[in-house]
Chain A
Amino acid sequence: MAAAVVACGAGTHHTSESQMPLKKALSAASPLTLRIVAECSVTKARACDLILPHSAVSTPVFMPVGTQGTLKGITVDQLEGLGCQICLGNTYHLGMRPGPDLITKANGLHGFMNWGRNLLTDSGGFQMVSLVELSEVTEEGVKFKSPYDDKEILLSPEKSISIQNSLGSDIMMQLDDVVSSTVTGPRVEEAMHRSIRWLDRCIAANKNPNKQNLFAIIQGGLNADLRKACLDEMTRRDVPGFAIGGLSGGEEKDDFWRMVTLSTDHLPREKPRYLMGVGYAVDLVVCVALGCDMFDCVFPTRTARFGSALVPWGSLQVKHKQYAKDFQPIDPDCQCPTCKRHTRAYLHALFKSDTAAMHHITIHNIAYQLTLMRSVRQSIVEDRLPEFIRTFMKRMFPSRDQYPGWAVDALASVNVTVE
């Protein structure tokens, strides 16, 4: 149906395909277009322009999470000012409060939040894992016991898509049967197969295929065969994008990266790859090298509220006594509003007096994540990603023997040595 337009712009490094013709979209209005601007000549990384209904998004991209239709104390103007082009909302939470009917009346989640750029909504599937005490999975869907009013609700593929249709997000996620990555045995296979069936039900239930993009989510746990089977099946469906799910849940990093790279090996080149739940700087950089385009994680915004500021050399616990008399900004090289005006000492003191302290750190952390991704993208465009990675690792870790083993292995698998 809606095929992605593939264009090879200047700077692409697949020289043998330099004369690739443009494929026109089959339907008049394709709500997603991926333009591959550059591909790394060493790793599997790409830099793309992802054209979505509300605006263009430069990838690789980190998407901040605004679970309940707000990004924890930050206004939409501030978010826009930081250069954020897409952020997340959550179907489970918003489906409960304020509910899809109210949001429809408010002109969708965009209208309700007054956010003019793109929104991606998760299906509610992850809550199955995170709120497992309150849920029960059947072929029909996931039965949740609402923590707010003890009512039981059934989140089926149809119901999830219906809510997401009301939310009006630019990218919707299928409802998948999510199993914690630490679970093994037949449940993993069952979940993988069910996720495929639920994908088909989600596709059928989507009332707005011309305005809202439905992404599939590859499951299969940490089992290469199951992952491969899932990839084979799901890539037969004509969805505008794919997510790599079921990871980033406490599994061994050595297993994690192998599943990521296996997935990108078998996902179509001309569609975006979204790695769910990844947000630590090292993970982002490595997974970009492994071929992922989009990421989301609550970590940067959540950790900010505890006074933890993200910096190129790790993190800085602003609330610690050692910063009480430190009159530097969090990061002297950072251009965010917080670092341009405030010192560690002031923020340290402010944490004792007002919530504004949290907001300052949240702004800084979002700026850090977005700046990191911009730098990664620029290095891909200039075809110097391996060099960027080496510099990044040197800055992040005091010495070579502190580089995480899994990261070294993962990078080696895409021809990057971090000496």
Chain B
Amino acid sequence: LCRLMQVRWSRYNPSYLEPEVNKELYQKPLEELSEEEKEKLELKALQPIKAAPPSLSSSVFHDPMISKFTNMMMKDGNKVLARSLMAQTLEAIKRKQLEKYHKAPEDEKETIECNPYVIFHQALKNCQPIIGLSNITRGGKTYQVPVPLKDNRKRFLAMKWLITECRENKHRRTMMPEKLSQELLQAFNNEGPIIKKKHMLHKMAEANRAYAHFRWW
């Protein structure tokens, strides 16, 4: 009998429910709840619930996209470093935008966006490709076939392009927050190398339109 419980391929029993993180739901008094919510609460009191992962938090400042991005930036499991780099990037974006804001004349002040979260989300949205290419082999030859992408895949591609662009194509001595903040601001304004990459992908897909019928899904 092995003394250690094998965890890697173990799976929760399907009856286990996801943990509820939203604080406001618990703070509502009983009368305000609707019928369905009361039923859900009773179910949760009786059924077993999965353990909450350490990256899930109930704080108001928690953002799932930002945590996904930090996980992708992480190397060798160093989450502390990745999180501090992310915080420094957001601070750098805020500083650059605030400098522009305070120096701009009154009428331009409203057009300048200062919130780093808004900039991050908008930049990611601008970088997401709409259509991707996949390799399909027919009769010995592999063709690049244009294929619609799922939401998760689009987000993943945008984040991956951002990080690889910052890691490879910049000067060796610049710090990651600086590089990332520059790339994010460029993507927010729809300019810069990542947007160009997205447009190249779209052009390739448009050029290979003829093979679109190879797709069977």
Do A and B bind? no
CB within 8 Å of A: which residues of B? none
CB within 8 Å of B: which residues of A? none
